[in-house]
Copies of this chain bind each other. A is one copy, B any other.
Amino acid sequence: MKTALTAAEALRSILEATPVLDPETTAVREALGRVLAGPVVSTRDLPPLDNSAMDGYAVRLADVAAASRVQPACLEIATEIVAGGRADQPISPGTAARILTGAPVPPGADCVVRQEDTAREGDGLRVFAAPALHENIRKAGEDVRNGEQVLDAGTVVGPPQVGMLASLGRTVVSVHQRPRVAILSGGDELVEPDQSVAGGRIVSSNSYSLAAQCLTLGAEPVYLGIARDTPEDLERLLRAGLAADVLVSSAGVSVGDRDYVRAVLTKLGCEFRFWGVKIKPGYPLAFGCFPGDRGPLVFGLPGNPVSAMMTFEQFVRPALRKMTGHRRYFRPTLRAELGETFTKKPGRLHFVRVVLERVGDGVVARSTGNQSSGVLRSMTLAEGLLVFPAEATELRAGDSATVQLLDPEEFFASDRAGF
């Protein structure tokens, strides 16, 4: 087992071991946010028939080509066609069909005259202007042709894709499976949120924040509970997590139990690839997997609330993005100007929690304050994570540096509509 890896080495090791999950069939109504496991090919034309883009009259162009306000063309209204109606009866010379938007264009008609360019008296119609050939007719297959590939594998299913699939008559679609992520907390000092914290006990908040991180990625968290600091209790709970795709253990704040977790998982067949990554917060990160994919990917996260969320963010999130079929695994990054000077010792890459301010076209980054790995406030305030490289010791105010952007949707949300 390797130790003291760089962040990049750790990430490479994890992604190499991470599979893309198999396809499954899901209801289109449930597919929002999922990633298509294969292309979607249409088995019909959209629209299915030539239809009218306007309320007006379907006519033969030859009958109205010379029409004008002064010399209108006079036609007989032979039929009326509504959307969803039938258009079996051909338009013969000298006749017109009253037609509503979306209604099928009858055989023989080769253009639609807008209602505004006509006058009707009983079954008589006067046409004051000639459209062009095929004007105001939406051609069958204009949107999608039968046999055409309309959505590519790897597409994230958003509202337009849901609408398209429905339009094609699809009720189910093939998407990559959602990773099931088993989450274990461990530590004799931990209690659930509704339990007493008398005597210095601490709420096991990591299972909550990690489950929420899973949900934002479309993964399915499975909470295993809080293991007590005994090998027996750990083994009991960890065994329950072996059927998951990913097993995330966030130890308590003590170190004793962390050794048990590793020992028990090794006994269960997990092979650890590394322990210890030169980052802060989050050094004591462990990663392993089961030979022949006979078990979940295993992440042993540090127990401090900030360290647990940070290592999930940096290492578990990209793995889950890969599993769910995404092609790009990482947060947006931007170059931000530093609003203050940051210093540290060399040796570890720091992820500094920062608030971001948009100034002109640029972004200015400032610390959220106390960066202790016990200070969850640093995460609740953070809009970005400043990447402070391992060997650097100072990033000066005014310099530009790389920042990972945590929530682009909300960060860039606007108080103006754009019109």
* Chain B neighbourhood of A264, CB < 8 A: none
Copy tally for this chain in the complex stands at: 2
A208-239 near B? 1/0 per residue, CB < 8 Å: 11111101100000000000010000000000
* Chain B neighbourhood of A363, CB < 8 A: none
* Chain B neighbourhood of A46, CB < 8 A: 376
Per the bound structure, the CA–CA distance linking A238 and B21 in Å amounts to: 43
Q: Is A103 an interface residue (CB 8 A)?
A: yes
Does the CB pair A83–B189 fall under 8 Å? Answer: yes
Shortest CB-to-CB span from A166 to chain B, Å, is 4
Shortest CB-to-CB span from A95 to chain B, Å, is 21
A343-375: which residues lie under 8 A (CB-CB) from chain B? 349, 370, 372, 374-375
Most B Cβ at <10 Å: residue of A104, A256, A403, A414: A414
* Chain B neighbourhood of A216, CB < 8 A: 32, 158-159
Total residues of chain A contacting the partner, CB 8 A: 118
Q: Which residue of B lies closest to A412 (CB)?
A: B332
Does the CB pair B412–A202 fall under 8 Å? Answer: no
Q: Which residue of B lies closest to A313 (CB)?
A: B159
Per the bound structure, the CA–CA distance linking A197 and B309 in Å amounts to: 50
* Chain B neighbourhood of A418, CB < 8 A: 330-331, 333, 387, 402-404
Per the bound structure, the CA–CA distance linking A178 and B94 in Å amounts to: 58
* Chain B neighbourhood of A282, CB < 8 A: none
18 residue pairs of the A-B complex, CB under 8 angstroms, read: A32-B215, A47-B202, A48-B200, A48-B202, A82-B189, A82-B229, A83-B254, A84-B188, A84-B190, A84-B252, A84-B254, A86-B199, A167-B205, A168-B193, A169-B193, A328-B410, A329-B413, A409-B409
A residues engaging B (CB < 8 A)?
7-8, 11, 28-29, 32, 44, 46-49, 51, 53, 55, 82-87, 100-104, 138, 142-144, 150-151, 156, 158-171, 187-190, 193-194, 197, 199-213, 215-216, 229, 252-256, 303, 305, 309, 314, 318, 326-333, 349, 370, 372, 374-377, 379-380, 382, 387, 389, 402-410, 412-419
